[in-house]
């Protein structure tokens, strides 16, 4: 089955710093989503982005489907950005989650 | 407000008991899903339903059962046959089935077996 790998596994930042999270997948995908799981466990939708680039405030995402990767950019990070970031892809018939990137932002 | 609700937020169960987790959505979505998350891990699919009165097993369906009698509701029963049920359970829904649409998640239920 399709493999979804995220890097880095852990990221520690000071407030105000920028970061790039990467998601690599081993086969073609029909759709791709980025989620933020907050410390209470809630999964928050960030982007639905099977291809191209989208921006939402301080966050933006780019998916290059032909090269099988997606990037999530976080600019001017805030402590509320802390949590785990997951990408998830649909290959044939189910949503496959990546391994996650745990982000900690300190004041 | 439109969204997905799950109840209860926390659930404690004795070994050998069945428990039912509730999931309700008012987004008018056709498809609904149940996932399990263990500490430090990603999500794994338990069951999904693309339409009322129909559902399919996911990757880890053993020890679980579901029903889909109404479009808005997709309850999950964790039976005594589930050998390690302590986990975080998340319900999701999407407008389109076959995983083709964007999925939205509820706040989750933390189940602990005592």
pLDDT tens sequence for chain B (114 residues):
669 999 999 999 998 899 999 999 999 999 999 999 998 888 999 999 999 999 999 999 999 999 999 999 999 999 988 889 999 999 999 987 666 688 999 999 999 998
Q: Determine whether B45 is exposed, middle or buried from the number of CB atoms within 10 Å of its CB (0-12, 13-18, 19+).
A: buried
Q: Where are the alpha helices (DSSP H) in B1-96?
A: none
pLDDT at residue A98 greater than cutoff 80: yes
Secondary structure tally for chain B: helices H, strands E = 0, 11
A98 → chain B, closest CA residue? B42
Tens of pLDDT, residue by residue over A35-51, are 999 988 999 999 999 99
Question: Tell me, what's the pLDDT at B61?
Answer: 96
* A90 at interface of B, judged by CB pairs closer than 8 A: yes
pLDDT, mean of residues A76-86: 97
Which residues in A lie closer than 8 A to residue B102 (C-beta atoms)? 31, 33, 45, 48
Taking all residues of chain A, what is their mean pLDDT, rounded to a whole number? 94
Beta strands, E only, B16-68: 19-25, 31-37, 43-51, 54-57, 64-66
A95 → chain B, closest CA residue? B99
What's the first-to-final CA gap in chain A, in angstroms?
41
* A38 at interface of B, judged by CB pairs closer than 8 A: no
């Amino acid at each position: 089955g399709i493999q979804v790998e995220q890097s880095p596994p852990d990221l520690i930042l000071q407030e105000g710093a920028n970061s790039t999270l990467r998601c690599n997948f081993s086969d073609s995908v029909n759709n791709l989503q980025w989620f933020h799981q907050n410390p209470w466990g809630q999964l928050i939708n960030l982007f639905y982005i099977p291809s191209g680039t989208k921006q939402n405030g301080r966050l933006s995402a780019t998916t290059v489907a032909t090269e099988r990767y997606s990037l999530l950019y976080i600019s001017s990070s805030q402590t509320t950005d802390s949590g785990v970031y997951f990408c998830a892809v649909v290959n044939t018939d189910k949503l496959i989650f990546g391994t996650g990137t745990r982000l900690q932002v300190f004041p | 407000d439109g969204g997905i609700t799950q109840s209860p937020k926390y659930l404690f169960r004795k070994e050998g008991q069945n428990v039912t987790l509730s999931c309700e959505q008012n987004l008018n979505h056709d498809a609904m899903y149940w996932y399990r998350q263990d500490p430090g891990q990603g999500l794994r699919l338990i069951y999904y339903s693309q339409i009322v009165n129909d559902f399919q097993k996911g990757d880890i369906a053993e020890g679980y059962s579901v029903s889909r009698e109404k479009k808005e509701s997709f309850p999950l029963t964790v039976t005594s046959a589930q050998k390690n049920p302590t986990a975080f359970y998340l319900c999701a829904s999407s407008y389109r089935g076959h995983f083709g649409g964007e999925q939205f998640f509820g706040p989750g239920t933390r189940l602990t077996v005592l």
